[in-house]
Structure 1
């Protein structure tokens, strides 16, 4: 067997750059310091887990055991998250659901944070139960508000009665021409003192319009026992203050003198929250006119005047949630010695720049080539100079629970890294009472990363990789070349009652076609918005305007100054024609014409890539192919450039790469071990990446090692046959002349856990060069892995909607691997490492000896095989007592899967021996 080396750059041009002189001691010192950190990343870069406490029904011994397991797994900490009960109280089994904020529950919090800190783990705290914020302390008056409209025919010229619900208040009465189904907002006249205004038509041609301010009555989702209640009004300072006092104070107090590292607010899923009692007053103060006389226009839309009202309404809502939710909670966190970590997107109407108001911005969603709230968060941090962006990671990873594999994790994590995430928070780790058996408790729709997962022994290797990359992605500064200006003013102008999400609008205003055009042309990108441009300018070499109608004049002036200073711009589809208020401003017309003429305008996204290449050289140019599958991100050091390059697809990539760095030579670093692999050239370099493989390249004036890719791989031993296989927990041993799927034997069809493959092999002499253990095989599966699909249909807030079914099993690797699903290797009793993603290859040179050698490969599958043999769980008693608080998803996918070693196994060497 001969095989071209996969995963490293090779270049004949290297011979011409070996003798280059170095450019400064400073570069050497900085890159060397980063490399030391890359080999041994600090604790703060390690991934964390969202630690779900169900009920909460938790006990101190298990709390301590799980924290110790997290530490052993290489995790950096946990976020306490209190959610729905999984079991009824059972004194005989020692199971008790402690009420939320009860002494028993708070005592468990006190114990967990103390044990976590003893172990050196970071402990964060969700400042509620379930999500969004709310609960029993939130009265109806302080619950999320909404505006609704009731249209009724006039009764003999008199105003009819309107039926009101609890908490409802009529805030506007109008009479308009038309009927209840179709009426003309332009004819609407306010009703004063109960008198119907005179009209030009009969009563039968007119309709009474009642605008009713009420409440969404949305309840907190997935609440723990005793945490049930309304979602709070995020626009209300008083409602947020009530929550902080009633929920925040006792939770943080339970941490004693050592507050949590951060408090957490999940995505703003206050669905339909579009009103607050003080909105009329705040609107008039902030916008300078009375919203209430324009309620028919706000509701109906369809005219330029209505669009202005809607824009001002949207902008006011954004300002209110900024001031009363984000700023207030962030200030409260600082006063309590902690930080505010916030998923600032969804409903209500936060903007990209709203994220500047919180200490720690967080996103989610591996939609690499579509709008993603993860890129929304990373971009805001890049725009405003913040270093760490966390991500709720693996939320929808390969449903159902327990189906996700380490390879699935890598497929998503690498996409998250190239979008700028550098603090992964695994979603998640279910606390599971030992009394309930296997596979234990799990959230209704999320991967499981605790030690009830059979492949869990490989977790330290996975977390080591993720921690190492998280550290590297914090070094220097983000260096994405392109900024895309989000049309926030257009989003506001598209608001209407019940439709008040900026991030949700962006999922439509920023098309996947535009994203792909930028990425496939060889650039990476950030988002920005008018507020960010006005505050901090444009920090990217190129600014792209998607199709945009409205833009603040101040923003256009800033862009003009940016261009004068050397910045490049290009508009797609159409250029702005109005200021933010919708006025046809002469200055907007003039500036837009000057900035976006000629080569600075393309009619559609089809011409965007070519236009960008005329403005700035690509940062990573792939020829003749590979741009569809390969993604990257660059971090700029003071005197160097760090590139992280990822094959996001299930097929091997072979192409020629040219990096946009000013340095001619660099080094490749191994993301698994942190070790330097060898030298690479920045120009015309051959690249070969296995499916889902990633690589790190650091260009600087620092000397590098030898050139990489020195020859082909050649097999020296075929180890594909004659293995003894011991199924550890089944006390069963078989001899396999040929590697066989566990499912082929009825006795192991439903086996989940560890199987130890062992055998001897003989080497006549120690090899002269490096020797690798390689497991080959696997095949690509149908799908579109290079551009991850919307694994769940999006709701109105731009977030995946779990209510939509039939949309696939979630984000995952479209690859059937030769190891199902991961393995640990030992040779002659010494650990060789973990095999969990392509290429399945380990350097075993130092472990081999002349003569007889003993090899063991411990293989781990998923929990689904064992789970599929269990009877369906009966949740009816739980629902009868606590209500239907969760629905386990994709249970039809709980079925046995191929397991074991299913590829060919060789010892291989590289180059001449």
Structure 2
């Protein structure tokens, strides 16, 4: 019997080891050849739309060749008037020719294996000519009406279409709204002011609308407006697709309905949901200070519920019923909450500042707590403005900041469709980087997208694994809102104490934001919760937090515990319950700490072991961790322009750490314990702790020594340029003939090696020089802060074979396998950006604006200057020996 037991135990252990090994090998295989659905996508702007089938096909093929897995079609404003001389014709949005182009695109996408999403409208927010004034975005506004002493009547202002007076207040009392143009009042001996509250329309027009898509923005919380849009626009768009070619998803951009604060039946909905008449309390919506905060809370909460019930839920259901999905940026005005993200199939964020509150972490946090496997972000929106200035390194510098927030699907912003007859580099969006194949350095794009593809795939493995949650002060945001700007996420930017997020990250932790709805739904599974100086908190959520603490949860309060429940509906009983719970939590001194905001980081270190403990703190170092079935996976990145050299201890270290390089696809041992961390500027790596992989030899530092100086003696030529461009070390722009040249230049030279130079124990590296860090600046238009030795990317061939691309630190390639004794030939194709060409060609929009109006303003045109280009060196063949 004992032998049988031992045999069964051994068999079970063997099966477990085999399973573990199999899982680890599959993980490595997925890293090497990641699933196609993790490829980055592009937002594809159709300007006009003025698109032709042949060019649509060509651009889809170019996207695929560049490593993109799909695109989102977004029709926007025209960039040319109709022009018979060039064949440019702006096809009206939703017209039969437009739908024919959409159908053709879907067929080509399917044949190419490309994902296709479609924006559920033109421009943003949703709206257009089908929206009557009665369904346009609505507002509540206050009109001040002065009354002279002795006046017996109040004259009411003229009501425009879509407007109506809903309440009139005099001497802080509500009086009936007259049906006529004047209201009779009792005279008084003093001057007074009456206040008329008008439910009207913001009048906002769809931003960046295509031809034929102009009109009012919809009332997002009107069932009639949303249903009208889905029928008139949504169903019309989907009529271009048959059952086999439905879009993967329909897309909604961020809600930017400025001033939206009302809908026609809001008073009725408010009373049904909150239990009292909002019209009796309208002055509170405009009151200064804390007066009326409880009413504002109830009003904002009602708006938020209506966004959920009347916009997000119906559109998601509509999409699912038609065989597609709803991808949405769930933030803005009117005010969704973090938990509103749970109502859409595919939540999406925006914003690269990973050390502050932003809408990317808002979306990824919701995806994590509500267990959504895929979460996307709109990426590169303002990268290195003006358009066409961005480089491959700029792309990586920003995309890593999205990865550090938990994003695992990149939606690039974006790809401008451009007719072939338009002069290079063609059309571009007014406020974003341009990444189509008319960009001079596009031949390097497959290397960039392969990196993005690998990391995106790995960040879908396992489950997110953050120990810390930060409670969003949504209740305080509701209470502070005003009709002019009713946005939860915008309020968050103002409410967080300085460096709250930074203190959590510097304490070696990652985190998710969480809100009351998620906690009530039982989604607080973290080890520690931070309450950031709340005045109000949802009482049901606070009950759950108290129970969670009783079960071992940890809380750090910055400032003070909350004392109010939220709205007028909650009343004194709600406030009393919150105060009781606060006192109860204060008694849990081992599990609840109340500290000044500036002490958060130190307190966090004292109560929670760091997930990553750096030997020397560095705010440019970032990480995120995923929990696997058989270990842990870290993504770490240097987000700064200076190298990071340190040691770190990683939680979950099983003694088998490996570095996986998502740029090269190579791996090496990382060791265990105090692991050496070496990151070049803007470099990133995956650190994997799993069992079952073949054990690697410990990584060994290489000694680098110069072998050959190759800085001079190059044959330099550029297509279409008669005189040779300058040698390495000099910018093309120093030559007057090349000052405005955008394109590529080929550098060629030969060199000889002896057989002894090709020692098997040495690696030979082609090194293009060092970068120079630029000063730290607050970046509204983010970019990589480096002066690079290669401007701005290069493809290298050695002895007629591809050696790789050079576009990021450390600016070198291992060329050992390609070298041979005797003569060797190296060719370097250097590419710059399109900025140099554009700087010599100012564009006039006079006729375009006369025809269609001023629908956009191109950003940062004052920065349109020639950029240094070429090889700056020195170029050296380096010997690397262990």
- Scaled by the length of structure 1, the TM-score of the pair is 0.91
Task: Tell me by how many angstroms 1:413 deviates.
Answer: 0.4
Contact residue 553 and residue 587 of structure 1 kept, 8 A:
yes
Task: Tell me by how many angstroms 1:563 deviates.
Answer: 2.0
Aligned to 1:165: 160
Aligned to 2:82: 89
Matches for 1:819-898 after TM superposition, within 5 Å:
819-870=790-841, 872-898=842-868
Instruction: Tell me which of 49, 54, 60 is aligned to 2:47.
Output: 54
Matches for 1:13-162 after TM superposition, within 5 Å:
24-154=17-147, 156-162=151-157
Three-state SS of the structure 1 residue aligned to 2:205 is coil
Distance 2:215 2:53 in 1: 28
Instruction: Tell me which of 169, 182, 188 is aligned to 1:202.
Output: 188
Contact residue 72 and residue 460 of structure 1 kept, 8 A:
yes
2:688 pairs with 1:693: no
Aligned to 1:342: 328
2:265 pairs with 1:278: yes
Aligned to 1:432: 418
Aligned to 2:6: none
Contact residue 98 and residue 105 of structure 1 kept, 8 A:
yes
Task: Tell me by how many angstroms 1:711 deviates.
Answer: 3.0
Task: Tell me by how many angstroms 1:198 deviates.
Answer: 7.8
Distance 1:790 1:901 in 2: 27
Aligned to 1:621: 613
2:741 pairs with 1:751: yes
Segments of 5+ residues of structure 1 without an aligned counterpart are 1-20, 177-186, 792-809
Contact residue 31 and residue 454 of structure 2 kept, 8 A:
yes
RMSD: 1.9
Matches for 1:749-828 after TM superposition, within 5 Å:
749-765=739-755, 766-768=758-760, 769-784=762-777, 789=778, 791=780, 810-828=781-799
Distance 1:729 1:561 in 2: 74
Three-state SS of the structure 2 residue aligned to 1:506 is helix
Distance 2:840 2:725 in 1: 22
Distance 2:584 2:765 in 1: 60
2:670 pairs with 1:680: yes
Aligned to 1:610: 602
- Of 389-398 and 566-575, more deviation after overlay is shown by 566-575
- Of 531-540 and 410-419, more deviation after overlay is shown by 531-540
Aligned to 1:15: none
Task: Tell me by how many angstroms 1:204 deviates.
Answer: 2.9
CA deviation string 1:219-246 (max 9, x = no partner): 0000011100000000011100000111
Task: Tell me by how many angstroms 1:332 deviates.
Answer: 0.4
Instruction: Tell me which of 274, 285, 303 is aligned to 1:287.
Output: 274
Task: Tell me by how many angstroms 1:661 deviates.
Answer: 1.6
Instruction: Tell me which of 655, 666, 680 is aligned to 1:664.
Output: 655
**Larger RCO (CA under 8 A, 6+ residues apart):** 1
Matches for 1:500-579 after TM superposition, within 5 Å:
500-579=486-565
2:339 pairs with 1:353: yes
Distance 1:27 1:569 in 2: 36
Task: Tell me by how many angstroms 1:196 deviates.
Answer: 7.0
CA deviation string 1:311-370 (max 9, x = no partner): 000000000010110001000000110000000111111000001000000011001111
Contact residue 725 and residue 732 of structure 2 kept, 8 A:
no
Aligned to 2:578: 588
- Scaled by the length of structure 2, the TM-score of the pair is 0.94
Task: Tell me by how many angstroms 1:264 deviates.
Answer: 0.3
Contact residue 116 and residue 122 of structure 1 kept, 8 A:
yes
Task: Tell me by how many angstroms 1:250 deviates.
Answer: 1.2
Contact residue 155 and residue 183 of structure 2 kept, 8 A:
no
Distance 2:281 2:293 in 1: 11
2:627 pairs with 1:636: yes
Residue 188 to residue 31, structure 1, CA distance change in 2 (3 Å): farther
CA deviation string 1:850-901 (max 9, x = no partner): 111111111000111122222x211100100100011111111111111101
Task: Tell me by how many angstroms 1:731 deviates.
Answer: 4.8
Contact residue 154 and residue 185 of structure 2 kept, 8 A:
no
Segments of 5+ residues of structure 2 without an aligned counterpart are 1-13
Aligned to 1:181: none
CA deviation string 1:369-423 (max 9, x = no partner): 1111000000000010001111110000001011011111011001110011111
Residue 682 to residue 619, structure 1, CA distance change in 2 (3 Å): farther
Contact residue 370 and residue 523 of structure 2 kept, 8 A:
no
Aligned to 1:180: none
Contact residue 517 and residue 605 of structure 1 kept, 8 A:
no
Distance 1:567 1:671 in 2: 36
Contact residue 57 and residue 98 of structure 1 kept, 8 A:
yes
Residue 386 to residue 292, structure 1, CA distance change in 2 (3 Å): same
Matches for 1:420-459 after TM superposition, within 5 Å:
420-459=406-445
